[in-house]
Amino acid sequence: MLPELRTLVAQGQPLDAIAQHLSSQQVRFARINAPRTADQLPLDLLPQIHALQDGQTAVFASGNAATVVRVASSQPAHMNEAEATPIIERFLNNQHLNDTLQQEIKRLREATTVSYQGEFTAPAANPAAPAAPAADTAIERGVQGLK
* pLDDT per residue rounded down to tens, the chain (147 residues): 888 899 999 999 999 999 999 999 898 888 888 888 888 888 888 899 999 999 999 999 888 888 899 998 998 888 899 999 998 999 899 999 999 999 999 999 999 888 888 777 766 655 555 555 555 666 777 666 666
* CB contact at 8 A, 1 and 68: no
Is 0.85 surpassed by the pTM of this model?
A: no
Residues near 22 by beta carbon (within 8 Å), at least 6 away in sequence: 1, 29
> Within a 10 A sphere around the Cβ of 43, how many other Cβ atoms?
10
Burial zone of 8 (CB within 10 Å; 0-12 exposed, 13-18 middle, 19+ buried): buried
